[in-house]
Homo-oligomer: A and B are copies of this chain.
Amino acid sequence: MFRQLMTFDAARRLIDEMIKPESSSEEVSLLEAYNHVLQENVVSTFDIPPFNRSTVDGYAVRASDTFSAEENQPAILKLRGIINVGEIPKMKIEKGEAANIVTGAPIPEGADSVVMVENTETENGKLLRVYRAVTKDQNIMKKGTDIRKDEKVLKTGRILGASEIGVLAALGIAKIRVLKTPIVAVLSTGGEISEPGKKLPAGKIFDINAYSLSTGVLESGGKPVNLGVVPDDRTELRNALEHALAIADVVLTSGGVSVGPKDLAPQIVDSLGKPGVLISGIAVKPGKPTTIGLIGKKPVFSLPGHPTSALLMFHLLVRPVIQQMAGKSPIEAKVVRALAAARMFSAKGRRTFVMVNLKRNEANNIIANPVETGASGAITTLAKADGFVEIPENQQFIDMNEEISVTLLKNSP
């Protein structure tokens, strides 16, 4: 059967144009909001601080009572008790009076400034000697100077880190509306696939893709829901995909369907709703049997069964979609320049990605060694590769010692 494969660039463009997944918002507690994207404009409902506060330990006074005070001629005031933090002072400071006040406590009525304790002396707890004049408002943080009532404090779209969450707490907000974490259903297909953690049945291999792809979903800012291995049957696969579309925002399958025609999976995806299959086969190596569909607004990515191919296609095509839904600007993959350790061939007419690991040679140059892929090394390639080299469709090979760009697979340091 001949099928015209879509070029890699055309596939990327089509994904950009067609897949505009809907993001929704949800209300979460402040600490759950960490690293999420704010989905409301936050306006202060009260003044912060909500009252005039002392910024020092000292005595609340009327500034005019201290104007003549100096080292040799203290002002003498009558002491009216102590104002602690967290309580509303009941006294009013009259002319000639003072009240002991601690840092952060509300300024009592009548007082308009605070003398620092270092510039005073008390006598019997009844009289206060003030040795230095203060001016009006000195050592006071006025009500609303930090945030005014009705002030716009944080705008929708802001990514919430430690500072922003601190500000929300200051406003007394305990729950906040953020972009919902995209839910990504992860399914494995293939009659030879078995769940890790149990004894391996004869003739089977353990499921790799569900775990590597779910981790990729986490790295991209999504929440993976592992729906396990789908039995090798047309009806079972259809039911599993319908269930996945019902509970998730994005569906991710890997592996082929072993029974029935090779294009059974695309046929089923196409039957689930409109617009259906967008891409069925891409002129890349590895990753050719990648199928991408859209059911309503929900993308369905059917990746190959080969673990390295599946993870590479995830990295190139799926990750940007999840990142966009999570409200994160796509993190530019890190690229390093390296020297090819061997000649690397491309597949004719296909964009070719060669997995490589990186080492430094004696001259301190970074050397890119191709990691054996294909039939053997299917799994270990995953653990050994640091990144990949991209060879354009019209180029036959990269030569040994040629300077090349290597895209790193891990964004984390």
Q: Which residues of A contact B (CB under 8 A)?
A: 30-31, 34-35, 46, 48-51, 55, 84-88, 102-106, 139, 141-142, 145-147, 153-154, 159-175, 190-193, 195-198, 200-216, 218-219, 224, 226, 232, 256, 258-259, 305, 307, 311, 314, 329, 331, 375-380, 382-383, 385, 409-410, 412-413
Q: Is the CB of A205 within 8 A of B48?
A: yes
Contact of A168 (CB < 8 Å), options: B85, B205, B211: B211
Given A165-B215, A206-B172: A191 and B379 within 8 A (CB)?
no
Checking B31, B226, B413 against A215 with a beta-carbon cut-off of 8 angstroms, the contacting residue is: B31
Given A50-B205, A161-B215, A165-B215, 5 further pairs, Cβ under 8 A: A30-B211, A48-B205, A162-B314, A166-B211, A329-B413
Report whether B208 and A163 are in contact in the complex, using a CB–CB cutoff of 8 Å. no
5 tightest A-B CB contacts, nearest first: A174-B197, A166-B212, A85-B192, A169-B211, A86-B191
By beta carbon, the residue of chain B nearest A42 is B383
CB < 8 Å neighbour of A34 from B49, B191, B192, B215: B215
Q: What's the nearest-Cβ distance from chain B to residue A103, in Å?
A: 7
User: Contact: B55 with A412, CB < 8 Å?
Assistant: no
B166–A412 touching, CB < 8 Å: no
Of the residues B141, B196, B205, contact of A376 by C-beta under 8 Å = B141
Complex Cα–Cα for A46 and B85 (A): 67
Q: Is the CB of A172 within 8 A of B200?
A: yes
Once the chains bind, are B218 and A34 in contact (CB under 8 Å)?
yes
Cross-chain contact B55 with A375 (CB below 8 angstroms):
yes
Among A147, A166, A191, max chain B CB count under 10 A is at A166
A178 to chain B, nearest CB (A): 13
> Could you say which residues of chain B place their CB within 8 Å of the CB of A102?
258
Q: Known: A169-B208, A191-B84. Is A35-B203 also a contact (CB below 8 A)?
A: no
Q: Give Cα A106–Cα B110 distance, bound, in whole angstroms.
A: 91
Give the residues in chain B near A212, CB-CB below 8 Å: 162-163, 165-166, 169
A375 touches B329 (CB 8 A): no
A331 to B412 alpha-carbon distance, docked (Å): 10
Contact B49 A167 (CB under 8 A): no
Interface centre among A102, A146, A173, A197 (most CB of B within 10 A): A146
A385 contacts which chain B residues (CB < 8 A)?
163
Rounded to whole Å, the gap between the CB of A49 and the closest CB of chain B is 6
* A258 and B84 contacting across the interface, CB-CB below 8 Å: yes
CB-defined contacts of A103 to chain B, threshold 8 Å: 256, 258
B87/A311 in contact, CB under 8 A: no
Cβ of A201: which chain B residues have Cβ within 8 Å of it?
Answer: 86
Partner among B170, B203, B213, B380 whose Cβ is within 8 Å of the Cβ of A379:
B170
Please give the distance in Å from A302's CB to the nearest CB on chain B: 16
Q: Evaluate contact between B49 and A205: CB separation under 8 angstroms.
A: yes
In the assembled complex, the CB of A382 is this many whole angstroms from the nearest CB of chain B, namely 4
List B contacts of A160 (CB < 8 A). 215
Checking B50, B55, B154, B200 against A50 with a beta-carbon cut-off of 8 angstroms, the contacting residue is B200
CA–CA, A377 and B167, complex, Å: 11
Contacts of A211 in B (CB 8 A): 30-31, 165-166, 168-169
Residue picked from A146, A162, A170, A198, most chain B C-beta under 10 Å: A162
On chain B, the residues within 8 Å of A409 by CB distance are 161-163
**Judging by beta carbons under 8 Å apart, are A161 and B46 in contact?**
no
- Rounded to whole angstroms, the CA-CA distance of A226 and B218 in the bound complex is 25
Q: Quick check: A167 and B382 within 8 Å, CB to CB?
A: yes
Task: Report the bound CA distance from A147 to B216 in whole Å.
Answer: 23
B34 near A162 with CB under 8 A, answer: no
25 contacts between A and B (CB under 8 A): A31-B214, A31-B218, A34-B215, A34-B219, A46-B200, A50-B200, A51-B202, A85-B192, A86-B190, A86-B191, A141-B375, A141-B376, A142-B376, A145-B376, A146-B376, A147-B379, A161-B215, A162-B311, A166-B209, A166-B215, A167-B379, A170-B196, A170-B379, A171-B206, A173-B196
